[in-house]
C-alpha cells in the first residue's frame, strides 16, 4: 500500500505506434517551440514523452495536433488513452512493441 493518498496510472506504449515523422516533429516542438504544443508534453529522458490528455475540449485539441502535422497514428494513441479514461499517456522507445487493437505499428 502506498503512503500517497492517490496514485496515478499512466499507460506506456512504444514509439513505434507513431511515425518517425511524428517523433521528429514532437521532439522539435518540445525542445524548440513548446508554446505551439496544444497541451503539456514532458520529455521522458531521451526515450520519449509523457502527454497530458485534457478532459475538456479534447476534439479541439486533436484538431490542433492535426494542424501541426501529426499522423492519424498519433491521434489514435491520444483517442485510445482518452477513451479509456487516462489523463496521461507515455510514448517510450523502450516501451512494449506489441499489437494493440485500434493502433498502428510502424517499423522505424
Q: Report the alpha-carbon angle 62-65-67, nearest 5.
A: 110
pLDDT at 81: 96
3 half-sphere exposure, CB direction, 13 A CA radius: 0
pLDDT at 50: 96
**Per-residue cell: 47:** 526515450
Q: What is the pLDDT of residues 62-75, one digit of tens each?
A: 999 999 999 999 99
Residue from 74, 80, 72, 68 nearest 36 by CA: 68
Q: What is the mean pLDDT of each run of 10 residues along the chain (108 residues)?
A: 88 96 96 91 88 92 96 98 96 92 94
**Domain residue limits, the chain:** 12-92
What is the C-alpha separation between 64 and 78, in angstroms, rounded? 13
Amino acid at each position: 500500500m502506498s503512503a500517497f493518498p492517490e496514485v496515478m496510472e499512466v499507460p506506456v506504449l512504444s514509439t513505434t505506434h507513431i511515425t518517425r515523422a511524428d517523433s521528429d516533429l514532437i521532439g522539435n516542438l518540445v525542445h524548440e517551440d513548446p508554446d505551439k504544443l496544444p497541451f503539456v508534453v514532458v520529455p521522458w529522458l531521451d526515450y520519449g514523452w509523457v502527454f497530458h490528455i485534457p478532459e475538456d475540449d479534447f476534439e479541439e485539441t486533436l484538431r490542433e495536433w492535426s494542424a501541426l502535422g501529426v499522423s492519424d497514428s498519433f491521434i489514435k494513441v491520444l483517442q485510445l488513452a482518452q477513451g479509456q479514461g487516462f489523463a496521461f499517456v507515455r510514448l517510450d522507445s523502450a516501451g512494449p512493441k506489441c499489437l494493440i487493437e485500434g493502433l498502428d505499428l510502424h517499423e522505424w
